[in-house]
Structure 1
Amino acid sequence: MMPCFGAVSRLVCSRTGGGAAGLSFSCGSDFLAEAKHSGKYACRSLLSSGSDLFFHLQVLRRSEVSLGCLQPEASSVALRADVGGTVSCPGLRCSNNTNVIWYKRNKAVSEQRRSSCQTSGSLQLCQVGTRDAGLYFCDRQTPERGVIWTSRRAVNVTVIPGEASSPPRITYPYGNTTELVEIGRPHNLTCEVYFPFEVNFSREVLWYKSNGSNMETMTLLLMEKQQQERVSFHEFKVVRSAVIKQVTPQHLKHRYTCTASNAVGNRKSSVELTHRINVKRPSLVVYPVAALLLIAALGVVLHVKWLEIRLIYRSHLQHGKHHGGEKEFDVFLSYVWSPSAALEAGVTLRSPAGPDADEDACLSITDLNPEESSATQRPLELLLPRVLEDRWGYRLCLLERDVVPGGAYTNDVVLAIQRSRMLICLLSADYLSNSHAVFELESGVQALLQSFDVKLLLIWTSRASASLIQPDPLLPTLVHRALKVLPSLDWTSGKPARATSGFWRSLRKAMPDQTLLSLTQNQNHRILTP
Structure 2
Amino acid sequence: MTLMIFFSIFIIQCATEKLCPLRTSIDVLEGEYFFLCYLESRQEHFQEEAYTINWYKENAGKQQLIKQTHRNVSQKNFLEFWPAELTDSGSYSVTHSNGKQNFTIQKWTLNVLERNKSSCFNRNHLTTETKNAGTGYSLKCSDLSVNENDSITWYKDCKNYENETERELDFKTLTVQHSGIYTCKILIHHEGKIYHSTSTIKLVVEEDAPEAVTLEIVGRNEEIETEIGKEEILNCTGFLGYYMQEDASLYWLINQMFPEKCLGIPENEPSICEEEFKNLQLGNKFYVTRLLRIKKVTDEDMHHNFTCMLQADDRTQIKIVKLKKGNTRDLPVYMFTTGMVLAVLFLCVAVAAVFVCIMFRVDLVLFYRNICKRDDTAGDGKEYDAFVSYLKDCISPSEEEREFALKILPTILEENFGYKLCVFERDISPGGAVVDDIHSFIDKSRRLIIILSQNYVSDRAIYELESGLHKALVERKTKIILIEYMPISDYNFLPESLSLLPSKTVVKWKKDKSLPVNSRFWKNLRYLMPAKPTKTNTKGHYNNLDLGSEGPQTRTEGCDFNAFV
- Report TM bin, short chain: under 0.3
TM-score (norm 1): 0.27
